Amino acid sequence: MALLQGPKGIGKESIVTEICNELGKTYYVLDLSKKNNRKVFEEVHENIFSDAKFNVDNIIILEGQFISNLSSLLELAIADEIKQQITIIFSYSLNLDTKVLQVLEENEYLFNIFPYTFYEIANESSVFEAEKLLDDRIIFGSYPTVYNSKNSEILLKSIIEQSLKTIFSNNERVNKLHLFRKVLQVVAINIGEPLSYYEIGQICNLDNETVERYIELMINAQLLIKLPCYHNENRYELKKSNVFYFMDNGIRNALINNFNPLDIRSDAEHLWRNWLISEKIKWQRLNGLRSQFLFWQSHTSQQIDVLEFNNKGVEAFKTSLQKKFLKEPPLFKKYYPSIPVHTLNKATYLSFLTKK
């Protein structure tokens, strides 16, 4: 059994079918985004796949977030009560207990699939070659189908449309897709800037609860990253806002329809920061690491772009495309003198991306 989770359009199905073809294994693909196919999972029992059409080596189930009885199916597969190899592909985070997810990962049943990481691109060629194309990755992202494509803009917009229509499970609902899209666009315009659900709701004419639910849907669909603000109830610290980034820069730029080169963009610093944070999170998840990422900001706009908390302690980072060194915010230094602050620029970012 294998479970693959990752954003829509990342090529998860292609990975599995290519492996089957290389091994000479037969397979049947069952797409649960189609309502008729979901009836197969209304009742799970040991003969669920006894139908003649399932007389194959591997059953590949797409959009596994629609399976209402996932736990029962997993139990049967782990107990070898299903004769076929089961591969379940998710475009939405698994709705399972955290401990169950850890067991699945530790036993190598669960795999996270992301847009290419810088580390993977550098391993394929070299760090030098990867850095030559870094500006392209910051603008067009790293989805496999988009990478080196001449139709990057069209492909990215297509991925967004697929995601908005098929990422949700049976328990989720989006009654007004145009408002859902608008929330996503508001977040895209304001990446890296503190935002409250109230502020987004005012722009989109939605209540706070709906905005929060939409945001969580996008996080679970692995489109968005949310960094809460760090504070210790000190004076002048922000306490209720979040900052948002995208798991892939290309998706963000497609939402605002801006693929201009980095050197003429007013949002270049925000794109650089988005790329750094998304790369770090992708690399961590691929390696089974569990850091927590937050930001810090004062009411006077002193800011730490990202704080990383892990079992080794905490470090703070400020990001810059141009400057070699950024000064530590005086208020942060006063409140948190023991937390080291580093600058992430094009000379220092490599160690940050792969540091455990």
Q: What is the CATH classification number for the domain harbouring 174?
A: 1.10.10.10
Least confident of 38-42, 115-119, 282-286: 38-42
**Domain match, 108 and 12 both:** yes
**Domain match, 131 and 278 both:** yes
Burial of 257 (0-12, 13-18, 19+ CB in 10 A): exposed
Whole-angstrom Cα distance, residue 68 to residue 39?
10
**Domain match, 343 and 208 both:** yes
Least confident of 72-86, 118-132, 181-195, 340-354: 72-86
**Domain match, 82 and 199 both:** no
First to last CA, the chain: 29
Q: What is the pLDDT of residue 72?
A: 81
Q: What is the pLDDT of residue 125?
A: 87
Q: Which residue has the higher pLDDT, 103 or 11?
A: 11
| pLDDT band with cut points at 50, 70 and 90 for residue 171 | low
**Mean pLDDT, rounded, of the chain:** 89
Position 266 pLDDT exceeds 80: yes
Angle at 270 between CA 335 and CA 217, to 5 degrees: 90
Mean pLDDT of 215-219: 91
Q: Which domain holds residue 72?
A: 2-112
H or E stretch at 29: strand 27-31
**Domain match, 108 and 198 both:** no
Q: What is the pLDDT of residue 48?
A: 67
Whole-angstrom Cα distance, residue 255 to residue 247?
13
DSSP letter string over 105-135?
HHTT-EEE--SPPHHHHHHHS-HHHHHHTHH
pLDDT digit string, tens, across residues 277-325:
999 999 998 888 889 999 999 999 999 999 999 988 999 999 999 888 8
Per DSSP, what are the bridge partners of residue 86?
59
Whole-angstrom Cα distance, residue 223 to residue 215?
10
Q: Are 248 and 115 in contact (CB under 8 A)?
A: yes
Least confident of 43-52, 113-122, 131-140: 43-52
**Domain match, 77 and 220 both:** no
**Domain match, 33 and 50 both:** yes
Q: Count of domains in the chain?
A: 2
CATH number for position 23: 3.40.50.300
**Domain match, 319 and 218 both:** yes
**Domain match, 43 and 128 both:** no
Mean pLDDT of 199-223: 93
Position 334 pLDDT exceeds 80: yes
Q: What is the pLDDT of residue 166?
A: 64
Q: What is the pLDDT of residue 169?
A: 55
**Domain match, 99 and 122 both:** no
Q: Are 237 and 231 in contact (CB under 8 A)?
A: yes
Q: Which residue has the higher pLDDT, 18 or 74?
A: 18
Domain end: 92, 112, 132, which one? 112
